[in-house]
Every structure is written in structure tokens, then in C-alpha cells.
Amino acid sequence: MASVQESIEVDVPVSTAYNQWTQFETFPEFMKGVEAVEQIDETSLQFRTDIAGVRREYLAQITEQTPDRRIPWVSTDKPRNAGTVTFESLGPERSRVSVELEWEPEGVLEKAGSAVGADGRQVSADLGRFKSFIEARGIETGEWRSSVDRGEVNDVDDVGPAAPAAEGPR
């Protein structure tokens, strides 16, 4: 298994960074190589990627989700990958977004790229594009404030004070 850990500080409140990240279908706007993300249901995502000419489609399952804190996921088919994105408040208008990612490189090209750190540079560059995207907007494109525990969705009303309702797919 290969792994990467990268972080970036963004000049928006932690809730804004988190809310934007829950808008998975916007990932292609700041993640190079991600062609499309389709939200299948509240915890299932279909990814279509093209990285260095290698095209793939796979399903990912969100296993846990805590608003303004963390979103872990695992792929349910190949290519095998798993990770966690965490959000940390650094003040009223600043936050840190951290990504931990593990995957199984397949083939000579992916294994070589992993060995020379290309994947870490890619995650770092994607986080930089996320920073530019959210800071330029200043507000999120949408939000989803429910939580997920062991793959089960807990509605906002079940976990504490109500947050504004989500608009459309998250």
C-alpha cells in the first residue's frame, strides 16, 4: 500500500471548508485527474478518473462523517483506496484541511509514480486548487450537515441543533 499525508491552510471558516468538501460533484473543478463524481446516495460515490492516461471508474463508500471534523471513505471495488479528510479550525476565518490517503498502485507506471512521490505532489496540488477555489468564492456551493456512523446516516435532528437544510445533492 502506498500512502500520502498532506495539509493546507485556507482563509475561510472551518464550516465553509467542510461544507464545500461535502459537494463531491465539484471535485473535478479542483482535483486534476478526477473527471466526474456522481453521488449515488448519501454515502456512496461513483468516481471516474483519468490519471496519466489511466482511466478508471470505481465506487467509494463514506464510512463516517462528522460535520466540521472528518470524512473517512473506502473504495468498494478496484482500484483499492481509502482515506480521511479532516478539518481543523485555526480561528474564525481560517482552517486546516488535511488528507490522508492509502491505495494499491497497479501496474508499472503507478508503482513508479508512487516511488518518486508523484502522488503526494498531486494531492498537494489538488489541495492548493481547493484553497484557490474556496477562497475565491468565499462561500460554499452547498452543504450537507448530517453525520455518518459506520456507514449509517444520522439526520441533523438526531445529533444536535439543526443546521440549515442542504440544497440538492451534496
Write down the pLDDT at residue 26: 97
| Beta-ladder partners of 3 | 102
* Number of domains present in the structure of the chain: 1
Residue 164, domain member (yes or no)? no
In order along its 170 residues, the chain shows pLDDT tens digits of 889 999 999 999 999 999 999 999 999 999 999 999 999 999 999 999 988 788 999 999 999 999 999 999 999 988 789 999 999 999 999 999 999 999 887 777 777 777 777 788 999 999 999 999 999 999 999 999 989 998 889 876 444 433 444 444 45
Q: Is 33 helix (H, G, I), strand (E, B) or coil?
A: coil
Domain that residue 144 falls in: 2-153
* Model pLDDT, residue 107: 74
Instruction: Tell me the CATH number at 65.
Output: 3.30.530.20
Quick check: is 17 in a domain?
A: yes
Beta bridge partners of 71: 85
Whole-model pTM: value is 0.85
Q: Does residue 128 sit within a domain?
A: yes
Q: Where are the alpha helices (DSSP H) in 41-165?
A: 107-115, 118-137, 156-159
- Euclidean distance between CA atoms 59 and 79, whole angstroms: 9
Is residue 92 one of the residues assigned to a domain? Answer: yes
166 within domain boundaries = no
The secondary element (H helix, E strand) that includes residue 36 is strand 34-39
Q: In the prediction, which pLDDT does 168 show? A: 44
User: Domain for residue 159, yes or no?
Assistant: no
pLDDT at site 156: 61
Model pLDDT, residue 165: 40
Domain membership of residue 162 (yes or no) is: no
In a domain, 26, yes or no: yes
